[in-house]
Amino acid sequence: MAKKEDILYTGASPTSLVGSRVVELLGGIAPSHEELDILKPETFTKFNPKVLVHFAALTNVNGCETDPENAHLINVVGTENLVQYFGSRGVKIIYISTDYVFDGKEGPYDEDATPNPINIYGKTKLEGEKIVTSTSGANTIIRIAFPYRLSGTKSDTLRWIIGSIMDKKEVSVFDNLKANFTFIDDIANALTQAIEKDFKGILHVTGNEISTVYEIANMVVDTLGKEYSQYVKPKHFEVSDGVADRPLNGGLISQYKETLGIKMTPLIDNIRKIINSRK
């Protein structure tokens, strides 16, 4: 296992959703955006890691659609810069990617499925994947989906749903979009296993449940009590101006998770924990 000080992260500043929690759990070097700007290779030279975990990205899916140049710059050129500098120095690169590389026509998808992204975010993340894998067979792609945590500065879809329902605010949630919520602590464990066992290639790390967002909101209602059902309203996802298309029938499964000893926490356990922490 690489020592903590040998692991460098991009995009793991305290305001980030996934990286900030992973660093809390695993330790390592997590420079701010300014200290390590993936668009400014001159900021790379003070770092000398053995493993680079690349979280930094433009993650706003609609934002990528309306500003494709910026999405390309951060998600593709930024990744290319890192691979050129750190890859050429023998650093193992672990690129954090997404279920949005698939079209969501016939999910769920395993690691051998052929990507076919339907929005700019997915297209630019797939380009990033290709850059990372084509330069070295030793590199790793970890695809995640709908990451959530129990607490933290930046909100996520699961905590937004639970918080709104508990605050008795109406939530309109998609009944035709399947979500594959993934506990970020489990992603951190998967990263440890991937580094320790020197996993190479593509690895899917997502929760075991694949349900529509509406069904998940109803799991929350079942836990809180039927009187909360009035706050959950179904709505249908449709593409419109400024709204990127989504892989509706998506979700990821894995051929390798079990052999690597990666276990995923049941979603219902964490729904209960988040509810209890807010009571």
Ligand X SMILES: NC(=O)c1ccc[n+]([C@@H]2O[C@H](COP(=O)([O-])OP(=O)(O)OC[C@H]3O[C@@H](n4cnc5c(N)ncnc54)[C@H](OP(=O)(O)O)[C@@H]3O)[C@@H](O)[C@H]2O)c1
Considering only residues 180 to 209 of the shown chain, the ones binding ligand X according to CB under 6 A are none
Do the bridges between strand 201-204 and strand 178-179 make them parallel or antiparallel, or are there none, so unpaired?
A: unpaired
Among 52, 59, 217, 257, binds ligand X (CB under 6 A): 59
Q: Which is nearer to ligand X, 9 or 231 (CB)?
A: 9
For residue 105, count CB atoms less than 10 angstroms from its CB and return exposed for 0-12, middle for 13-18, buried for 19 or more. Answer: exposed
Q: 10 Å Cβ neighbour count for 195?
A: 20
Considering only residues 121 to 160 of the shown chain, the ones binding ligand X according to CB under 6 A are 125, 144-147, 154
Q: 10 Å Cβ neighbour count for 119?
A: 22
Told to check if 11 binds ligand X by CB under 6 A, we report yes
Phi/psi class of residue 168: alpha, beta or left (left: φ > 0; alpha: ψ in -120 to 50)? left
Query: And the tokens for 31?
Result: 């420079």
Told to check if 9 binds ligand X by CB under 6 A, we report no
Q: Which residue in this structure is represented by tokens 């998770």?
A: 257
Told to check if 1 binds ligand X by CB under 6 A, we report no
Considering only residues 27 to 56 of the shown chain, the ones binding ligand X according to CB under 6 A are 33, 36-39, 55-56
Told to check if 115 binds ligand X by CB under 6 A, we report no
Among 13, 124, 139, 206, binds ligand X (CB under 6 A): 13
Task: Please give the residue ranges that form the binding site for ligand X (CB under 6 A).
Answer: 10-11, 13, 15-19, 33, 36-39, 55-57, 59, 74, 78, 96, 98, 125, 144-147, 154
